[in-house]
Amino acid sequence: MAKKEDTIRFTKKVLERLRIPQGKERPVYHDDLVQGLQLRITSQGTITFFIQKRDVNQVNRKVTIGRFPTWTVEQARDRAHEIFKDLSLGINPNKVKAESVGKLNITLQRVFEDYKRSRGTNLEESTIKGYKSIIDNQLGDWKRTPISEIKRSMIEERFLEVTHGSGRFIDKDGSPTRANTMIRVLRALYNYAMGQYVDSREQPLILHNPTKVISHNKAWNREQARTGQVKEYNLKAWYEGIMKLPEHDKNTRKLNSSEVARDVFIFILFTGMRRNEVLKMKWEDIDFKDKTFTVGKTKNHEGLRLPLTWILLEILERRKNDNGNPYVFEGEKPNSHLSPPKKQIEKARELIGFHFTNHDLRRTFTTTAHRLNFGKYTLDRLINHKTEDSRDVTARYVILDVEDLREPMNQITDALWSQMK
């Protein structure tokens, strides 16, 4: 039991006037409002709050709270009550603290690895590569840093360095777009960490996302929208060049990958689909009887059933094989799809005489559809675009069947083909 002279009313003024002991003396004082809350003062004047109390199993527990004035008297009392509650439930606060410290030491690299495992197949391979590139190149010196130690000021400084090509990136050109992407990657990892890492009481260990400082300061870099597309007057040259692509494949193996890539490029142009959606198409997704095909796992994680036009059927007929490969656009390895055709697109640009990207083909499809005055909801459905506007109530009620999309698809095909003759 505490001596009467050692029991005092903890207040800021009282603690600031406590006698500083000499030598090795370390007197202990007890709070007269919260039984079990104590403090110790050293010869250097350091005051530390702690509690000493028996738990539900009558085991005497001593738990350090923290130093005054970093911890105020009120905060120490609140924390003491939390510890008492844990003790009454048989929870050892010291064990909880040790676990928490261990989890707070989880590094940025570890969070990334956990994030990948938790998302599994919901993460596209290209997304994983993009995240890894950012972490390796823009955040390489933070990979072994505990995320709890990455502060807002550090993020602000790194954002500016990447934007302007300064500091650690003085030898590199500034990239506002890359800086924005870096913050988006960090934001995703912190959001994941806030929900993933908890203590034994299921309380989150990461309470804040420091990347919010960029939004708070309205510091995001303005990004110029990409507007590239194959112009109407270039479609004929584009098609003629693409059709010549297989002739320039020097691969002596059985599969002519340039021939497969040719059909991929044409399929993208006449559907507006994303490259990876086309590459991962399987024969089981094709319904020749109903003349439809299904895009299974799309970027927005929703399935999409679309009509097959004459030119798409023509491509599918070319791609039919009897080797058992489940993919429409097969790769060189058994049961694989074509890898992203980087070499083939470079050769195609050389043959055609101008630059284009896979996304330019997608924009060409959507631009053509827009010129034909198709409604927004028809176009969004055709390219499987999910509206970002939560206020758009109409979008929830507009349900378009595959047959509603057949005539628009036919008209877009005819419009594109008419420029290629």
Q: pLDDT of 180-202, one tens digit each? A: 999 999 999 999 998 888 776 67
Task: Report pLDDT for 393.
Answer: 40
- C-beta of residue 41 within 8 angstroms of C-beta of residue 10: no
- Tens digit of each residue's pLDDT (9 = 90 or more) over 304-348: 889 999 999 999 999 998 788 999 999 988 899 999 999 999 999
Shortest CA distance to 405 belongs to which of 371, 368, 385, 380?
A: 380
C-alpha radius of gyration, the chain, whole number: 32
For residues 281 and 71, what is the distance between their CA atoms, to the nearest angstrom?
Answer: 60
Task: State how many domains the chain has.
Answer: 3
Q: Residue 388 above 80 pLDDT?
A: no
Task: Report pLDDT for 395.
Answer: 42
Q: Residue range 242-253: average pLDDT?
A: 79
Domain match, 344 and 287 both: yes
Domain of residue 71: give its range.
Answer: 4-91
Q: Which residue has the tokens 């913050």?
A: 183
CATH code: domain of residue 345 = 1.10.443.10
Q: Which two tokens stand for residue 201?
A: 């009481």
Report which secondary-structure segment, H or E, holds 132: helix 125-137
Amino acid residing at 388: E
Domain match, 304 and 394 both: yes
For residues 174 and 163, what is the distance between their CA atoms, to the nearest angstrom?
Answer: 5
Among residues 216, 245, 265, the one where a domain terminates is 216
The residue among 289 and 125 whose pLDDT is bigger is 289
The residue among 386 and 282 whose pLDDT is bigger is 282
Helix ranges (DSSP H) in 105-175: 108-119, 125-137, 152-164
Domain match, 146 and 81 both: no
221 in a structural domain? no
- C-beta of residue 257 within 8 angstroms of C-beta of residue 249: yes
Q: Residue range 26-44: average pLDDT?
A: 93
206 in a structural domain? yes
58 in a structural domain? yes
Residue 287, classed as helix, strand or coil, is strand
| pTM, rounded to two decimals | 0.58
Q: Residue 144 above 80 pLDDT?
A: yes
Give how far Cα 42 sits from Cα of 24, 26, 47, 231, Å.
8, 5, 7, 79
